């Protein structure tokens, strides 16, 4: 399932014009996806249209309605290749 999520997210980012996504975390127990990026507004879209399209793609692919939350990464973290553990630590602070 992780590979499919990554493929869907990367395709969606390309479609939105975002080249650099920092990472994501998929909480399968709560059907919630956290997306880490420095381009939240672009991925959300005007009135949430882009994120709603992405939610529909997730629902179609996995037959489950997902909640999508964005975590804005500032201060240069998005400009380097950060490790998954750094993202996980940041996510734990938020959740």
- Find, among 47, 45, 27, 34, the residue nearest to 73 by Cα: 34
Count of residues making up the chain: 95
Kindly state the tokens that stand for 82. 């950060």
pTM over 0.85: no
Res 52: pLDDT: 93
Per-residue pLDDT of 28-43, as tens digits, reads: 888 888 888 888 888 8
Paired residues of 70 in beta bridges: 35
66 and 24 in contact (C-beta within 8 Å)? no
């Amino acid at each position: 399932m992780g590979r499919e999520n990554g493929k869907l997210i990367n395709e969606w980012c390309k479609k939105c014009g975002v080249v650099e996504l920092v990472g994501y975390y998929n909480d399968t127990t709560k059907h919630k996806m956290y997306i880490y990026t420095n381009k939240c507004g672009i991925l959300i879209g005007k009135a949430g249209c882009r994120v709603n399209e992405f939610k529909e793609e997730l629902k179609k692919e996995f037959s489950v309605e997902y909640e999508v939350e964005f975590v804005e990464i500032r201060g240069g973290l998005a400009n380097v290749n950060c490790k998954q553990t750094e993202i996980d630590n940041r996510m734990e602070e938020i959740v």
